[in-house]
Amino acid sequence: MDKLFQIIFVSLLVLILAVLILVLIYVQDSSQMMSKDNIQEMPVELISVELKEFKISPSEINIKPGNVKFEVKNIGSVAHEFSVFEPGNTIPIVSVKNIENGQSKESNVVMLKEGIYEIGCYLPGHLEAGMKGKLVVGTAASQPSMKSMSNEEIEKAHEENIKAFPAKTEGLGAQWIEPKIVDGVKVFELTAMPIKWEVYPGKFIDSYSYNGQIPGPEIRVKQGDKVKVVLKNNLPESTSIHFHGLDLPFSQDGVPFISQDPVRPGETFEYNFTIIDTPGTFIYHPHLNAEQQVDKGLFGTFIVEGEKNWDVEYTLIPGDGSHGYTLNGKEFPATAPIIVQKDQKVLVRIVNAGSQLHPMHLHGFDFQVIAQDGKPTTAYTRDTITVAPGERYDILFTASKTGIWPFHCHILSHVESEHGMHGMATAVIVQ
């Protein structure tokens, strides 16, 4: 009887223990489910942000701690991105990439605790041009707010940028290259190489270059010249050179897997041709991974010279992309001025090496458009000329009055914001 009692007693203990374990598991699971449901049921605050060159609106956002989703709209003319960083961290807690112009994208929902966060477009050149702000998360915050610069702050920013012009930076692009003469052939040597290029003071960009300069050296020849261009590839990737607009034999067209093999890292390739084009303005650039290689700095001008009916000439190359909005590889206030004497006749060769339209406007003077895409044209008068990617215009004007006359792209987001003049601007200084 005692043995039977012991068996019953032990069985009851085991049963009670099993019931307790099941209850504990149920309570734990229920608690976890309730916790997940609570997180999912917490309200999500939707924050609308607009991006354009070069501004984020609102530039200061104030919200309470909790779940947040960002709706980001690009109202600019080029692609942007939107990121949120905790101070001191290099990995964003919010990242919305590849927002094309006119496009809207939403971020993932993120839980934000109290603190001050950095927001911005971290594409090269965009943050420095003003596409940045802050996100303040605190219990006292209510609705998102927008903070604009005061009139005094705007005036100060403009004055500082103007007074800094022309700012000194390392490197100067588009310098004339002297050829070697070998058996009557003009030999130009170009080395494609990685460099760090200073776009404006203190802003260095990992870049590609010809002979260490952006734009690459300006090649100058005459009709009838025999020319050899020797390309040495010191890049970490294959490349080539296409001579944009020149009348050349098929074998010299510079397109890998069509007219030649790629010029691989460490290799050298020679282009040989005779100049049959009439005097005009042309370009050279890679035709392999060109979207990235040209963007990084591999482009230059190729000039066929003829008779000159002007006193001085300049080459002006608008660029857009990883270096920002540039003229001859520099952003204002580091762009070089066009310096001339009163009453001189001035030729400016405008070459669009970028991927966007740029309406170039000259203050103070009308100009004559005398050539397009390397071919003479019946002259016509303008003060603004829209240059599409790959196009070249030669313009001529007489510097009839002294002064400092701005010369800039008239897509104003490429040249000016509340933070001052920037990007694709320079000036004609008539002395």
Q: What's the pLDDT score for residue 417? A: 84
pLDDT at 6: 62
Spatial distance between the Cα atoms of 208 and 205, rounded to a whole number of angstroms: 10
CA distance linking residue 364 with residue 406, whole number of Å? 8
Q: What average pLDDT does the structure give for the chain?
A: 89
Q: What is the pTM of this model?
A: 0.73
Q: What is the pLDDT of residue 13?
A: 61
> Quick one: pLDDT at residue 317?
98
**What pLDDT score was predicted for residue 171?**
96
Provide the residue-wise pLDDT of the chain in tens; the chain has 431 residues.
556 556 665 566 666 766 666 655 554 544 444 444 444 556 898 999 999 887 888 888 888 888 999 999 998 878 899 999 987 788 899 999 999 988 999 999 999 888 889 999 988 778 767 788 888 888 644 444 445 678 999 999 999 999 999 999 999 999 999 999 999 999 999 999 999 999 999 989 999 999 999 999 999 999 999 999 999 999 999 999 999 999 999 999 999 999 999 999 999 999 999 999 999 999 999 999 999 999 999 999 999 999 999 999 999 999 998 898 999 999 999 999 999 999 999 999 999 999 889 999 999 999 999 999 999 999 999 999 999 999 999 999 999 999 999 999 999 889 998 889 999 999 999 99
Contacts (Cβ under 8 Å, ≥6 apart) of 88: none
Q: Which residues pair with 228 in a beta bridge?
A: 187, 272
**Which 3-state string (H, E, C) describes 83-138?**
EEECCCCCCCCEEEEEECCCCEEECCCEEECCEEEEEECCCCCCCCCCCEEEEEEC
Q: Is the dihedral of CA 23, 24, 27, 29 positive or negative?
A: negative
The CATH code for residues 44-147 is 2.60.40.420
Query: Hey, CA dihedral for 202, 203, 209, 215, is it positive or negative?
Result: negative
Q: What is the pLDDT of residue 211?
A: 98
Looking up tokens 């009557």, which residue turns up? 184
221 CB neighbour count, 10 Å cutoff: 21
Positive/negative CA dihedral, 320, 393, 420, 427: positive
DSSP characters over 142-196: -S----PPPHHHHHHHHHHHHHHPSPP-S---S-B-PPEEETTEEEEEEEEEEEE
Question: What residue spans define the domains of the chain?
Answer: 44-147, 180-430
Three-state secondary structure call for residue 239: strand
Q: Determine the Cα–Cα distance for residues 78 and 97; give it in Å rounded to an integer.
A: 13
CB 430 within 8 A of CB 407: no
Q: What pLDDT does 144 receive?
A: 45
Judge whether 44-147 and 180-430 match in fold: yes
Q: Of 345, 350, 357, nearest to 371 (Cα)?
A: 350
The string of pLDDT tens digits covering residues 243-294 is 999 999 999 999 999 999 999 999 999 999 999 999 999 999 999 999 999 9
CA 184-189-194 angle, 5° bins: 175
What CATH number matches the domain at 180-430, 3.40.47.10, 2.60.40.420, 3.40.1000.10, 3.40.50.150?
2.60.40.420
∠ at Cα 73 (70, 78), nearest 5°?
130
- pLDDT of 347: 98
